Structures are given as structure tokens and as C-alpha cells.
Amino acid sequence: MTNVTIDGERLWGTLMETAKIGGTAKGGIRRLTMSEEDKRVRDWFKAACEAAGCTVTVDTIGNMFARREGKNPDLPPICMGSHLDTQPTGGKFDGILGVLAGLEAIRSLDAIGYQTNAPIEVINWTNEEGARFTPAMMASGAFAGVFTEEYILSRTDREGTTFADAMDAIGYRGDTPLGGRKLGAMFELHIEQGPILEAEDRMIGVVTGVQSIRWFELTITGAAAHAGATPMPARRDALVGAARAIEAVEAVALAHAPDGVGTVGILECRPGSTNVVPGEVFLTIDLRHPLDEVVARMEEDLRARLAEIQGRLEFGLERIWVSPAVHFDPVLIGHVREAAERLGFRHRDIASGAGHDAVYTARICPTTMVFVPCKEGISHNEAEESTFEQCAAGTQVLLNAVLAYDATLEG
């Protein structure tokens, strides 16, 4: 395998340049799926890839594919990538590091004129975060056949805008059919989004898989009433019910500690007036554990606890998304581990606590991930931070692993 060295300064420059697109006053990024900011970063990515000699195509739900040809066009592409969208108060590295690392890999190959056996593609998967449209990772899921195109196009945000309308508004409904073609392999570089690598002074996480996730929406219905004229015993206060439901989520997670976690991420109180007893509350619930069977038990536990506390309220719990535990390809994991060892980086095997597009690509092609540390494990936060050295190290490991896998293919 030819040694190809990435340009860390160039990589860091692209990270800082794209961080200005949707940049917030606190140093983070707000770049929701199919927003004007999303359009701007997509335009930037397309132009940068074309300048690097790639052909860029966009499929019918906005996934972007930047292709660099290899010696054998009949081989399915080796892919790198992640996502460009962010949380409402997201950071500079979540997702986009994996996309820009792929771009840097291609630029580095171009710099020495190295041609891989297989084509190389860098992918921007649409709506990984699930912050504007749910569920998360829905476009990579649709590519893998988990969701239909019609389902994706019909999803609505909290304001009632459909995914299809939002995509058309920024001009990113492509003409390449969704799915229907083979990927040779998928490598995704990402910040850890947890504290383990930093705490152990490890530069690289060799990701072995992703834990099981279930998402729910809970609507609690009581009765709106006057805050001053309605006696306490007569009230059907939906917000009180929500408070007890939130405690139930925490209790479920603690009962399955240390690996079980539970989160209420959205809480909406209606009608939302100071002097009105809340008549309805909407909230979201996220349950996770490395084992599918434990997450199933967590759901059973949650439903039982909610039945006990609902009283005169109506609790409508709907499971909206299930992402089973994923185990990545051992051959690709081996290439990542060997790359980290050859480069002299301290590393460890690690399972991902967060969901990633790699969860769905693992269903259709050999897949693995590379983690680099982030400060104090903070992510989905404007304070999210990874260093120049960490980003460069992860990108070098990524490229070396890709080239090692490519060397096993027939040119």
C-alpha cells in the first residue's frame, strides 16, 4: 500500500470555514436539515468536491455522493462520509468531520496522483440528526430499504412543513434514484460524543458497533381549567402527569444502569398560559442500551410505570423508531485497528452510544467507524470541541484503513 499523508492544516481549514455556515454567537452551528444554512453548506461541499475532480450526484431525498473513479469501474465504491446537518445548538464537528475527512482523503490522493482499485465516494447523508424531521438517520435508512421514499417525503416538522416541500425549497431533490446500487464498504469517522477516549488518553476509538435505541412520543391529555377557580382535587393537570412520566423515564434508566439510559428531549405544554391548568403535554422519550433484549425490557418497564401513574389522565405512548444494536464488519474493524497501531496512536475498542448513518449502511455493505475524542465528551452542544491533532489523526487512520481495504481488491 502506498503511504498517503493527509494535510491536517487543510482539513482544519475546511472545518473552520464550514463552521461559519449557520454559525452561532456561542461558537456552535445551527444548520437544520433542508434549511437555508443546509443549502449553503451543501453548495460548498458540491463545489469543493467538483474542484477535486469528483462527479457529484444527488438522489431523490437529497443524499449527496461525490465519486472519484478507480482503476476498476466495475467494483462497487468504497465510501466515506457522515452528515452536514446539525442540532439546533450543535457543534463544529458532529457529522461534518466525517464528510470533510472524506474530502481531505480524496485531495490527498489527488496530490500524489494515486488511483485506488475501487472507486471512492464521499457521502453526505440527509437528516442524520432527526432534529427537524423524525426519525433520525432517515435518509441512510431509506437508502438501505428500511423506510420508503414516500414515508420520507411525507414527514413533517413541528411547523407542519413536509420534508418534500422543504427539500424543494432549497433545490436539493436530486434525480438519482434512491438506493438500488451496491456500496462496496462504508467507513465513517466521527467524534466519540462521550468521555471515554479523553479520560483514557486514547487518540482513536476502534468502533465495534452501536447500541440499541428506541424513540417514543407521549401525549398526556387532561383538562384545561382556570388556575384560580379550579380546586386542586378537581384538576386533571397534564403537566403534573408529565412530571411523573419524566421521573418514570429516569427510574427505568437507573433500574438498568450502568448501560441503560433514558432521556426526555422535547416537552411542549398546552395551551401555554400562566393562568390555565395545562390540558395537554407532548414529550419525547429516548431509551438506549447495548442489548436489544434489555431495551425491550426497558420499554415494558416504562409502559407499566406509566399505567400506574396516569390516574384520571390519558397517556398515549407511541413507539416511533426502533434501531436494533449493530455489530460492525470484523475485517474493516481490523483495518482500522491496524492503521491506528502502525501510526502509533493509542487506541481501544469501543461501542457507540449514539446512533449514526453507519447503523443502516451496515445492513447493506461491510461497515465500520473510527472515533476521535471530544472535550469532556460534550456533543450536541455549542461547546463541542475536538483538537487539530485529534481530527488529523482520525482522518489519517480513516484513509489508511480505506487504502488497506482497497489493496485487497482486484484492480
* Per-residue pLDDT, 155: 97
358 CB-near residues (< 8 Å, 6+ apart): 186, 188, 210, 326, 328, 367, 368, 369
| pLDDT tens per residue across span 223-261 | 999 999 999 999 999 999 999 999 999 999 999 999 999
Q: Report the binding-site residues.
A: 83, 94, 129, 190, 380
Q: Which helix (H) or strand (E) holds 286?
A: strand 280-289
Q: Please name the fold of domain 8-210+325-406.
A: Aminopeptidase (3.40.630)
Report angle CA 366, 368, 371 to the nearest 5 degrees: 170
pLDDT-flagged residues of the chain (< 70): 1-2, 411
In what helix (H) or strand (E) does residue 216 lie, and over which residues does it extend? strand 212-221
Tell me the binding residues for Zn(2+).
83, 94, 129, 190, 380
pLDDT at residue 112 in the model? 96
Q: Count CB atoms within 10 A of the CB of residue 127.
A: 32
Q: For the structural domain made of 212-323, what CATH number should be given? A: 3.30.70.360
pTM of the model: 0.86
- Where residue 127 falls (left for φ over 0; alpha for ψ -120 to 50; beta otherwise) is left
What pLDDT, on a 0 to 100 scale, did the predictor assign at position 342?
Answer: 97
Domain spans of the chain? 8-210+325-406, 212-323
* Bridge pairing between strands 261-263 and 204-210: unpaired
